[in-house]
Structure 1
Amino acid sequence: MAKDFQKNKGTSLNIPPRGGGAYTAELAPSRARVSSLYRWLARKLLDLLGNPPISLVLWNAEEITTSDQSLVARVHIHDNEVLHQLLINPALHFGDLYSVGRIKIEGDLAEFLKTVYSAIARSPKYIKLKIAQTRLFYRPSQNRLLNSRENIHHHYDIGNDFYELWLDREALQYTCAYFPSPDLTIEEAQRAKMDYICRKLGLKPGDRVVEAGCGWGGLARHMAKQYGAKVRSYNISRQQILYAREKAKADGLEGSVDYVEDDYRNIEGKYDVFVTIGMLEHVGRDNYRVLGDVIHRTLTSKGRGLIHSIGRNKPELMNAWIEKRIFPGAYPPTLREMMDVFEDHEFSVLDVENLRMHYAKTLGHWLERFNRNADLIEQKFDRAFMRAWRLYLAGSIAAFTTGSLQLFQISFTRGTNNNLPWTRAHLYESL
């Protein structure tokens, strides 16, 4: 992440090098004169965004708004080039401009983003621009074996100590938690998520489980310790695999949990259960049938499985800035697209649940902890890195809250497996 910012040194965005001192102090406002042209551009930008209840504060402190509603936030514009960049491609350029301090938000960042996301969803001009730019310029990464490793390394191998600052302290679960009660801590909600998944899978002692993409290994250890399963987990993030192996050894689970540093396409063996939590987003829609083939060859005749993934209600590519800076190669699928995993081999979908608001709440916990440790994160990397990740977390809260993103859990089994629960009572009896 920080390396990518460094690559852009010298561009019009003036993104600082990693660890450099360019932004140890706040940027001084531009002294350029504000002409009628820039006032017009500011109004055009607000109109493009659907006239949300925000104002643009120009570099001479002049404030411009096109809404008669109470303002949610003020957006401070550092210089006239910011307006040009935002009008050309707001989805791509806003993130970098915010990261380096050329845009500052006066007000709650997540609330500001919710307001803007809601407005642009109703703006015909913005939608038209987004469609045109997607067709002309946006080419998402292809998730082949080689660049899948590069994409995962970009995001997950930043350093385990970075994630320890803001994820749950018990298992470093970097996926949606489950809040059967809204006042749970993030640690309690992540444990509840793992138990909920195990109940959906009907997990029992002796079950052989294969996990595609294990994160820092928390679910595999939970399945082994609490349910007596034998788990093999595949992951291509070296940092995560090393961490997971150390934790399993410390917990005395070396005979029950096996962490394999390899791609999901190379999974071998036969298993009673297939599970993947937060990996489908990295598979790429062109590879869903490949994933289905892997599940087909590894599951037993009564095998069952669960896929937990960020998704969308209609097909849409990942935000251009998120794809470039945070999650290269990521794609949140629709339910219809996810069916490509199941249909070729006639898997039966047993249950579909959308935990969208649970993810918004999870992200709220993460952002709170991230903000408490913002100074440490800035010292470890730099200000641009810290602000970029703050924006990513706040923007994710806004995306789930406004319905732009969904969180799907799909449980499934072989189409010929009749050994099934009669009702859903087992999912909630332990809550």
Structure 2
Amino acid sequence: MSMSKSTAFFDRKAAAAIARSKQEPSWLVAWREEAGEWAAALELPKPEKTPIDRWMLDAQGEYRPGQTVSLLSELPSEVLALLDEQVGGAVIVQHNSSVVYSRLPEELKAQGVVLSSLEEAARTHEELVRTHLMTAYARDEHKLSAMHAAMWNGSVFLYVPRGVEIAEPVQAVLYADDAEAAFVPHLLVIADEGSRVCFMENAAASLGETETTLFHNGAVEVFAKRGARVQYAAVHHMDDTAIDISFRRAVLADDARIEWLIGDLHEGNTLSDTKTILKGTGSTSDAKVITVGTGSQRMSLTTGAVHIGRSSESDMVTRAVITDEATVIINGITKIEKGSAKANGQQTERVLMLSPKARGDANPILLIDEDDVMAGHAASVGQVNAEQVYYLMSRGIARSAAERLIIYGFLDPVVSEIPVEAVRKRLQQILERKLG
């Protein structure tokens, strides 16, 4: 069933009913109502060479909150396995359609740090939420964004006050084990002037035997104010009966910086779009994205940078390994707006194919409206380098082991920089399982 048919019932009235059932503030009810109206009218996005209209995007699910717990030990064992308890910092967990646990150390509370569900923050920090929520990822961008705005549930709100530095990573786990649940998390991170934070998102699903499609329609918005430093790491891995839709946006003020470290390692169809808007003078963005496609997966990964501020710099690296009959489309888009003099935008896309039936495509795009800038790109699609394999074999390493070493070296720029050890180990385990 196509989404255009299935969303006929999802309109202003349906969105308002969801909001009122959760007793949300009146401003949010109206906000969702408007998004619901757009959801019924707007078209799907059209990612390059990826016909997402054929995907089961009508699997919206029902609001099914998880069981709230007061102790970390009371969380499901599958969730605990995704956390690193050696990191004693802030933790927040969404289970299916709601946040079920959060922990914020007292010293961070005393400094004014806020970590809560976005649903709660809409009540307790209305001004911050209203002035930022879906201003980088617009509600009317397309049908998926409108649906997300109308339906987001649970979700994460993090505010780091001016000058505050959070030493340990903030860990967020988004976990689904009910294929019929609405799984629509929104992660809103606001780093005020001169603050520093590392945020680690871990999205997972274990659905068991099911014929129902779980539709993860997720979004991330990061706002880094003047001089703020944000590192945002994410690992996504869900069962192949799930669809992973993830739109990520960052908006940078003067001298702000973001580092994206993204492991899109989902087992099913994936649409991932990560973009930084460099509004401020001297703002910088460094994005590293990896993916592995197996089976008959269809994957579209877009990484983008929009330069508005003078002397802004962006670097984007995307690497994909594909095997079996998987298809991966990688898009890199650097946009340098008029007035962003001295901007520097660089991008690299590389696809490594391990099977003759695998299909990979790398599309570097430079859109430049300013003369006094630097911009460059590199892209390649190919197989494992035979000379590298022969060199390793000449050192006594078996062919299969040699190829594995080359593949892991290819993906290492992201794997080695994941800031939480338990997540880094999990990422390595996923790679081993996906690559056989």
Normalising to structure 2: TM-score of the pair? 0.26
- The answer to which structure has the higher helix fraction is 1
Which gives a bigger RCO, structure 1 or 2 (Cα 8 Å, sep 6+)? 1
Larger radius of gyration: 1
Normalising to structure 1: TM-score of the pair? 0.26
